[in-house]
Amino acid sequence: MAVLVRLADERGEVVTKRQLLDDIWGEAVVTEDALTQAIVELRKAFGDRALNARVIETIRRVGFRLLPPVRTAGMPLPAPPATPPGIRPLWRDARIWIAFVALGFLAVAFTMFGKDPGPPRRPVNSVAVIPFANLNDDPELEYFSDGLSEELLNRIANLPDLRVPARTSAFSFKGRDMDVREIGRRLGVDSVLEGSVRRFQGRVRVTAQLVDADDGLHIWSDTYDRPLTDIFSIQEDIARSIADALKLQLNPEQLARLKKPPPTRLDAYDYYMLGEFHFRQRENLGTPDAWLERARGYYRNALELDPDFAAAYVGIAKTCLPLLWSVRADTFDDSMARAQQAIDTALRLDPDSADAYTVLAWIRNNRFDHGGVAQAARKALEINPNDVEAMFRLAQAEENQGHFAPALELYRRQLELDPLNPDSVQSTADRLAALGQRDEAVSNLQRLFGDNIDDAWPVVPIAIQYGRYDEAVRIAGQRTDELFRAAQLARAWAILGDRELAEAWFERARASHSFGYTVPIPDVFIRLGRVDELVAFTRQAMEAQAMPRDRPLSPAQFQLLTVAAVAQTLTGNFGEAIRYWEWRLEYEQVRLLGNPDEYISALTFLAYAYHETGDQERSRNLLSAALEVAESAREQGIAGYPPLTIAVARLHAQLGESDAALDALDQAIAEGWRDYYGETALPMWQSLQPDAGYQDRLARVRADLESMREQARRNGWAVFPEAAVLIWPSLQRPPPGARPPARIAADRI
């Protein structure tokens, strides 16, 4: 009430936050969250709201003022109360005590007669948990407020019939002074949970408030001032209060999940939160994996203090997974073993850990066990229906098993829950484009990146897949990642038919290439006619890796095997080609269902190798299987994807079905396909070589490529690597509108 009295004393004038803190709390050690909570309680008493205030108006970043007129009443004054220690004796000021009594009558009158109940509150079906503010002076305690916010998000995400946006999207509002209505609009939610955290002298003070994202009215709020050891019960109480405020019905199993057992030691939990904080930071610590080592160190510290801390074991497993793309067999196997062991322990200690099942799905995905991925991801979603990582893994598993419709639905649901996460939006855009949904993919990227859409990594691959090679050159030329930039420029220029530029960027990419990191380099070997070099390159890499057939492959090794199979086929080493293609299909036949263009290509390459060795029956059976894959993809609505359409055209050409091949080729060209130099290097088109209609189509494709090359030159995009480094030091992006004075390459093809 002292805050109300102080506002009344100014009779409609603004009172700053600092004035209120000094006048009411004096020398007592408090922070702004105490003032915020006082204002919240007053508004609740008056039925007031922050937006469209009728009693207490917030002056953003300044303070507050009282809106109703205040008059002193002629009545005897009661004795003022004693002043608490540390608080200035405001109550001895007669003017303020009179105002207090008058405001008391005002409050009663306002509550009885002036409070507008308004329309019934709409149902709340979604809550965004944005990061709680760290009110400590020490920024090193940021991990604590972030960790508390994330734990609350995870608990609330377990509530039934409630959509909760993912952490990355919700945390994008950290430190931003933004209206709750705007946050709600961007995340597509009905309400927002916000608050503050202050940790001091073995205690913690948490202020939380659930706000309607439509009108800014407080649905619920509370303050918890307890010993630090009660931090877990605070999290549970807040989640329960949210459920009560939203009238959610919880069954016994859901109630049990809200009350998950805390670690036995608070300092172990502290180390765990530090591990989570640094795992997500991915800060530059000198070496690529240094951030993983730092996070892993904190998780291990937590386990030394509490060996039964399940979440810390999940953390250990997560730090192993980014290493799984290593092409080295020993590194991959060791990382997989350590990740699996940690997750097995986590699930033994906590069988209801959604995070553990999500990481288990991640591990199985790297073993190409897509049925196992789906099983683990579904279990995670059963526990936490808002787990976007599990949703993405399940979508991948459905796609990889050839179930495209449910995969698309899951990808879209993931975007609804995580619309502001660049990694999520980009990965999903990549998969949507591969399923023929290019416009939707680009629209999602545009919505997130806006004018900076070129910063999204899928933009270049999508431009290449859909035949927009001049755009690919422009965008790739702006990238600061040297390997990505060089590899994509080499690929784009090779497709465009500029051999000189393609070879220049190709050599730049090879100089910094670690096999398994990027695909375009093997593509360029083929388009430049350097297949013999590709054979030597892959043979050397496979020998270095000692890839025995009875040993599980890493994702990078699988990629290496695919490139080797293509190279052996094109050089006429059909015995080796058959061995590699059979290995590939035997090892990962299920996964190929999720990439029908790759599956059709693998079957047609293998069929060609068998045909050349005289096994016509085996060749025909493989081509028939490829036709079934194409038909299945068509029936499931996968269309409009140039790599798939050209694979189907190639299949018909190999079957000798000229009309069907030309029809599919026309469709591919209409969709944007223009990869003349890569496709005509393949032997499957031999039967169409004498066909005038086929040659006419290829001539039109070459003309389009020439037009794109000229457009790129006119725009100053035909830049050699040495010129790019001189013009844009350290490969930084040029200033807006800059046109580099690069030498223009001659057309060599």
pLDDT in tens, 458-487: 888 899 999 999 989 999 888 877 778 888
Reported confidence tier of residue 547, pLDDT bands at 50, 70, 90: confident
pLDDT in tens, 341-385: 999 999 999 999 999 999 999 999 888 888 999 999 999 999 999
CB environment 231-242: b (16+ within 10 A), e (fewer): bbebbbbbbbeb
Chain centroid to CA 721 = 32
Reported confidence tier of residue 639, pLDDT bands at 50, 70, 90: confident
Q: Is 709 in a helix, a strand, or coil?
A: helix
Residue 735 predicted with pLDDT over 80: no
CA–CA separation, 566 vs 427, rounded Å? 27
Class of residue 188 by CB neighbours under 10 A (exposed 0-12, middle 13-18, buried 19+): middle
Residue 185's closest CA among 146, 216, 156? 216
CA–CA separation, 430 vs 641, rounded Å? 12
Chain centroid to CA 349 = 28
pLDDT in tens, 695-727: 999 999 999 999 999 999 999 999 888 755 433
The length of the chain is: 749
Write down the pLDDT at residue 28: 64
Q: Is 194 in a helix, a strand, or coil?
A: strand
The neighbour count for residue 92, using CB atoms within 10 Å, is 10
Reported confidence tier of residue 65, pLDDT bands at 50, 70, 90: confident
Class of residue 746 by CB neighbours under 10 A (exposed 0-12, middle 13-18, buried 19+): exposed
Residue 297 predicted with pLDDT over 90: yes
Residue 202's closest CA among 229, 233, 232? 229
The residue type found at 50 is: A
CB 380 within 8 A of CB 359: no
CA–CA separation, 208 vs 224, rounded Å? 8
CA–CA separation, 8 vs 103, rounded Å? 8
CA–CA separation, 412 vs 409, rounded Å? 5
Q: What angle do CA 481, 486, 491 make, to 5 degrees?
A: 130
* Block residue for tokens 């430190």: 175
Q: Is 102 in a helix, a strand, or coil?
A: helix
Residue 508 predicted with pLDDT over 90: no
**CA-based diameter of the chain, in Å?**
114
CA–CA separation, 273 vs 147, rounded Å? 6
Q: Is 128 in a helix, a strand, or coil?
A: strand
In sequence order, the β-bridge partners of residue 197 are 134, 206
pLDDT in tens, 204-247: 999 899 999 988 888 888 889 999 888 888 888 999 899 888 88
CA–CA separation, 625 vs 618, rounded Å? 11
CB 242 within 8 A of CB 236: no
The neighbour count for residue 617, using CB atoms within 10 Å, is 8
Reported confidence tier of residue 27, pLDDT bands at 50, 70, 90: low
Residue 69 predicted with pLDDT over 80: no
Q: Is 198 in a helix, a strand, or coil?
A: strand
Q: Is 208 in a helix, a strand, or coil?
A: strand
CB 431 within 8 A of CB 404: no
Q: What percent of the chain has a predicted confidence (pLDDT) above 70?
A: 82
Residue 170 predicted with pLDDT over 60: yes
Q: Which of 291-300, 423-432, 433-442, 589-598 is the least confident region?
A: 589-598
Residue 260 predicted with pLDDT over 90: no
The neighbour count for residue 497, using CB atoms within 10 Å, is 21
Pairing of strands 203-212, 218-227: antiparallel
In what helix (H) or strand (E) does residue 277 lie, and over which residues does it extend?
helix 266-281
Angular region, 289: left φ>0, alpha ψ -120 to 50, beta rest: alpha
Residue 515 predicted with pLDDT over 80: no
Class of residue 122 by CB neighbours under 10 A (exposed 0-12, middle 13-18, buried 19+): exposed
CA–CA separation, 392 vs 411, rounded Å? 6
Residue 81 predicted with pLDDT over 60: no
Q: Find the helix packing angle between 574-592 and 555-570, rounded to 10°.
A: 140
Q: Find the helix packing angle between 290-305 and 310-320, rounded to 10°.
A: 160
**Residue 250, φ and ψ in degrees, nearest 5:** -105, 135
Alpha carbons within 13 angstroms on the beta-carbon side of residue 402 total 18
495-497-498-500 Cα dihedral, nearest 10 degrees: 90
CB 702 within 8 A of CB 460: no
CA–CA separation, 129 vs 150, rounded Å? 8
Measured between alpha carbons, how far is residue 371 from residues 59, 179, 365, 376, 394 in Å? 56, 44, 9, 9, 10
CB 189 within 8 A of CB 128: yes
Q: Report residue 162 as tokens.
A: 């409630």
* Block residue for tokens 């990027």: 518
Residue 71 predicted with pLDDT over 80: no
Q: Report residue 252 as tokens.
A: 């016994």
DSSP 217-269: -EEEEEEEEEEGGGHHHHHHHHHHHHHHHTT----HHHHHHHTPPPPS-HHHH
In sequence order, the β-bridge partners of residue 203 are 200, 227
Q: What angle do CA 746, 470, 444 make, to 5 degrees?
A: 165
CA–CA separation, 449 vs 172, rounded Å? 13
